[in-house]
Amino acid sequence: MTDFAATKAMFDLPEGMIYLDGNSLGPLPKATKDRVSAMIEDEWGKMLITGWNKAGWMQQPGAIGDRIGRLIGAEPGHVMMGDTLSIKVYQAVASALEMTPDRRVVLSDNGNFPSDLYIVQGLLKSLGEDYELRVVNPEDVADNITDEIAVLMLTEVDYRTGRKHDMKALTELAQAQGVVTVWDLAHSAGALPVDLAGCNADFAVGCTYKYLNSGPGGPAFIYVAPRHVDSARPALSGWLGHEAPFAFDLDYRPGNGIERMRVGTPPMIQLAALGASMDIWDQVDMQALRARSIALCDRFISGVEASCPALTLASPRDGTARGSQVSFAFEHGYAAMQALIARGVIGDFRAPTTMRFGFTPLYIDEGDVDGAVAIIADVMNNQLWDKPEYKIRAAVT
Amino acid sequence: MTDFAATKAMFDLPEGMIYLDGNSLGPLPKATKDRVSAMIEDEWGKMLITGWNKAGWMQQPGAIGDRIGRLIGAEPGHVMMGDTLSIKVYQAVASALEMTPDRRVVLSDNGNFPSDLYIVQGLLKSLGEDYELRVVNPEDVADNITDEIAVLMLTEVDYRTGRKHDMKALTELAQAQGVVTVWDLAHSAGALPVDLAGCNADFAVGCTYKYLNSGPGGPAFIYVAPRHVDSARPALSGWLGHEAPFAFDLDYRPGNGIERMRVGTPPMIQLAALGASMDIWDQVDMQALRARSIALCDRFISGVEASCPALTLASPRDGTARGSQVSFAFEHGYAAMQALIARGVIGDFRAPTTMRFGFTPLYIDEGDVDGAVAIIADVMNNQLWDKPEYKIRAAVT
């Protein structure tokens, strides 16, 4: 059983702040600063180039990948760290498309994070005019899975509402039609138990700076199923994905298994930060986390609905159909969120009307939920959001 | 005039080590650890998600790009940080190829770093079977520039020998044939003055963990010439390269100018480390650096040639035709390099016979050169390399 009071004590949370935005950028684990300093001073500073061997830098992207793999139900040796999520989406979809060479359509939904759609638009434009990205409503995905589709690319949990796709059912439906699946776990990894192997997923990708608390710009990950990993062609065929990088051959030969999904030099400082965070995650039981996440979200929904009639629930009411976040719709949501942030309740806003709150049991507890509800009720019922300064949009929101 | 004794004092170099491998991984600036700690504690820890605005994280990839831009002769606002060098090569070549839609050949040479060839092999395979990567000898590049070539992709300085291409002449030759140029500055940026604008270069890319001392896995950069930057299509069309990332539109529209070459979330911890290093670089006059680099390399060549008859110079003798490194060929080069490393002279080895030594005036001086020469002479003339333990190849060399 995970001790969530103990995990909460492992984070450095600013005094007086209720941080409900860990689904956007996770907070700082207390151990991270010293871990990064030690890596910089004792490894980079003292070992210099020999750190690649002596400190095991070269093996870390795969070793940390396996620790994340436990959270997402991946087989050991099938998750690799590196690059950004956008790059990992590109890799996965490019490889997946080549597995169905006679098909030309990538199916996704408009609840996907736009970046995933952008990156596929760019890829398909490179591949040729006969390729198509077909974007449907989330509830229409199942009906659109036909033998015309090459790749089904979905984000499991909707970044706006927290609505959760049924990964197992959709993967099964897709595979029955010969469709290859790519699952984006940006709002799943560390948010809820994922069972990639059990769902028979083909490819999966995700980031680490949200629920996995690796810090801004932490490296992403990619998963390739055992049955594909030795045949998937890496479109981004980089040096460290070569079978023998230090042979300096002029021709690319893909490395064994997941190694081929490496591209360039891994970001060792960011990986050190991620390593410190994974020390916490290694102690977490994902079923316990899920139960607590649903309880916290339910408590928040009840509290807000009881006290704020102007807010409309925009997330599924059924906890098992949700990720680890709750959204409410409100016409003046942007200003209301600014008023909340000014009062130490940090959520975020997604156009046009979504106020979004993430619940992360590692460091959020019932006291935080109740405190947030009280402040939200104050802001809403006393129209504290109705001030000019809360209506000025920042560049990054 | 740059005070190189002062810059040397800004680095944390292990006692008793002569580090001649800054062309592979630069050493640790003394200011880096505290800078990174401050970023982690005061920005990520205290500002959390608001750091993107409050700490200016979002602007840093372009701001630091401009500081590197000064070293490589780029117009302000035309260099963007992010990803790895392999990814930046992919971006540059993919965009460049679309500028010559009727041509199918990418020309490069076998002195290019293999990863650049690998990544283009992967790209061309995605684009179709009629594309070709043509790899010639470095001295034959000029003769192979014809109107059949779409893109000329070269690394300015050969990673093995330090041989330097004439960027201006080859760019001119290429453009006279309608060829678009992509220059890899991995062994140029921070090694010698580069004049991208003066050479009329089209695209350039480079990394920061070598001469720019950003630490293992520091972010790469891309340059796009002003005449191309608003028309180049980003093949890796990621979220932060969108014209309005926070509008969350479903369709990609490229951002203004170099912004479109952004892909995913920038690695802010690695960028903080790079920022600390750029504080040193901001003080450096590149002409003074070049003069000193040539003087150090010449001193090393004279010293080694006078004392080690078994070593054959593998680099150009003319300093102006070289980067900031010197290589010697020796049949037992691997073992000899291990013997040197065991004695505190850190260079590296590149198969089959190259012993490589980097000279970086920011922290290497005449005393280091003379000290290295003495140890090399001892190892060579007393056959100290001829021991079994020096012949065991490490995974990463």
Assess whether pLDDT exceeds 60 at residue B395: no
pLDDT value at residue A392:
84
Size of interface A-B (CB pairs under 8 A): 280
**What is the per-residue pLDDT across B167-214, written as a single tens digit (0 to 9) for each?**
999 999 999 999 999 999 999 999 999 999 999 999 999 999 999 999
Contact map slice: B 96-135 vs A, CB within 8 A: 110, 113-115, 117-119, 121-123, 125-128, 135
Q: Tell me B50's DSSP state.
A: G
Instruction: Name chain A contacts of B99, Cβ cutoff 8 Å.
Output: none
- Selected residues 332-391 of chain A with any CB under 8 Å from a CB in chain B: 341, 346, 348, 350-351
Position A284 scores a pLDDT of 98
Q: Which amino acid, one-letter code, is at B348? A: D
Q: Which of B81, B137, B222, B239 to mutate to test the interface with A (most CBs of A within 10 A)?
A: B239
Residues of B in contact with A394 (CB under 8 A): 53
Q: For B40, which of A33, A45, A57 is closest by C-beta distance? A: A33
Q: Which of B24, B99, B119, B249 to mutate to test the interface with A (most CBs of A within 10 A)?
A: B119
Question: How many degrees, rounded to 5, is the angle at CA B111 between CA B107 and CA B116?
Answer: 60
Reply yes or no on whether B113 is catalytic. Answer: yes
Most A CBs within 10 A among B28, B59, B84, hence the mutation to make, goes to B84
Q: CA of A166: how far to CAs of A73, A142, A238, A348, B14, in Å? A: 15, 10, 34, 26, 55
* Intra-chain end-to-end CA distance of chain B, in Å: 37
Minimum-distance CB partner of B57 among A207, A216, A346: A216
Task: Give the active site residues of A.
Answer: 113, 184, 209-210, 356
The pLDDT score that the predictor gives to residue A343 is 97
Residue A396 has a pLDDT of: 52
Task: From chain B, pick out residues whose CB is under 8 angstroms from the CB of A52.
Answer: 216, 396
Which residues of B are less than 8 Å from A233 in CB distance? 122, 125
Position B393 scores a pLDDT of 77
* pLDDT confidence of residue B219: 98
The shortest C-alpha distance from B359 to chain A (Å) reads 15
Q: Do B363 and B17 meet the contact criterion of CB atoms below 8 Å apart?
A: no
With CB atoms and an 8 Å threshold, state whether A265 touches B85.
yes
Report pLDDT for A397: 44
Per-residue confidence (pLDDT) for residue B351, from 0 to 100: 85
B27 CB within 8 Å of a chain A CB:
yes
Give the span between the Cα atoms of B86 and A43, in whole angstroms: 24
Closest by CA to A199, choosing from A212, A211, A182, A187, is: A182
Contact between A48 and B394 using a beta-carbon 8 Å cutoff:
no
Is A351 in contact with B270 (Cβ distance < 8 A)? no
All domains in chain B, ordered by first residue = 4-29+285-390 (3.90.1150.10), 33-281 (3.40.640.10)
B61–A contact, CB cutoff 8 A: no
- Structure token digits, residue B109: 């040479």
C-alpha dist (Å) from residue B303 to B161, B299, B381:
18, 6, 14
- Cα–Cα dist B329/B311, whole Å: 6
Q: Does A317 touch chain B (CB under 8 A)?
A: no
B396: confidence class by pLDDT, cuts 50, 70, 90: low
Q: Minimal CA–CA distance to A159: which of A13, A32, A322, A8? A: A322
- For B61-76, the pLDDT digits (tens) are 999 999 999 999 999 9
Q: Are strands B149-155 and B180-184 parallel, antiparallel or unpaired?
A: parallel
Residues 6+ away with beta carbon under 8 Å from B94: A126, B123, B235, B236
Residue B397 has pLDDT above 80, yes or no: no
Q: Is the preceding omega at residue A352 within 30 degrees of 0, hence cis?
A: yes
In this prediction, the answer to ipTM > 0.90 reads yes
Does residue B210 carry a catalytic annotation? yes
pLDDT digit string, tens, across residues A118-138 = 999 999 999 999 999 999 999
Q: Report how far residue B376's alpha carbon sits from residue B347's, in angstroms, rounded to the nearest whole number.
A: 11
Question: Which chain A residues have a beta carbon less than 8 Å from that of B135?
Answer: 250
Query: Among the listed ranges A243-247, B6-10, B252-256, B318-322, which one has the minimum average pLDDT value?
Result: A243-247
A12 touches chain B (CB under 8 A): yes
- Closest-CA residue in chain B for A394? B53
Residue A368, pLDDT score? 98
Q: What residues in A contact B51, CB-CB < 8 Å?
A: 25, 216
pLDDT in 10s for each residue of chain A, 397 residues: 799 999 999 999 999 999 999 999 999 999 999 999 999 999 999 999 999 999 999 999 999 999 999 999 999 999 999 999 999 999 999 999 999 999 999 999 999 999 999 999 999 999 999 999 999 999 999 999 999 999 999 999 999 999 999 999 999 999 999 999 999 999 999 999 999 999 999 999 999 999 999 999 999 999 999 999 999 999 999 999 999 998 889 999 999 999 999 999 999 999 999 999 999 999 999 999 999 999 999 999 999 999 999 999 999 999 999 999 999 999 999 999 999 999 999 999 998 899 999 999 999 999 999 999 999 999 999 999 999 999 987 655 4
Q: Do A119 and B238 touch (CB under 8 A)?
A: yes
Q: For residue B394, count other CB atoms closer than 10 A to its CB.
A: 12
Instruction: Tally Cβ neighbours within 10 Å of residue A244.
Output: 9
8 A C-beta contact, residue B157 and residue B191: yes
- pLDDT tens by residue, B295-349: 999 999 999 999 999 999 999 999 999 999 999 999 999 999 999 999 999 999 9
Contacts of A303 (CB under 8 A, 6+ apart): A369, A370, A373
- B12 touching chain A per CB within 8 A: yes
